[in-house]
Amino acid sequence: MNPLRLVRARPARAFTVTVDGRTVEALPGRTVAAALWAAGITSWRTTRGTGRPRGVFCGIGVCFDCLVTVNDSPNQRACLVPARPGDVIRTQEGTGHED
């Protein structure tokens, strides 16, 4: 049985964010990383030197593998940043700045 039914929870309505031009639904209280995962997106950054894909690794803001650009602000840790209605999220290459 669904745990929400067990406690008769009524979660707030979902909202949308934009990820690389694609509309993605997110639930209130979720981080950017959780919203991306729920949408099936598991990698949203590449490393500087080799361009290897990265996403969530530690999930607690220690490792910096999940860096993403949110509302034109690069280097945001997706596992810590709450998703907000209308956020514009972009995958990040390297440092997130035009080097």
pLDDT at 96 (0 to 100): 67
pLDDT, tens digit, for every residue of 31-61? Answer: 999 999 999 999 988 887 888 888 998 888 8
- pTM for the predicted model, two decimal places: 0.83
Residue 31 is classified by DSSP as B
More confident residue, 67 or 6: 67
Residue 98 predicted with pLDDT over 80: no
Mean pLDDT, the chain, whole residue set? 89
Q: Where are the domains of the chain?
A: 10-93
Per CATH, which fold does 10-93 belong to? Ubiquitin-like (UB roll) (3.10.20)
Q: What separation in angstroms does the CA of 15 have from each of 3, 23, 60, 89, 95?
A: 22, 10, 24, 14, 29
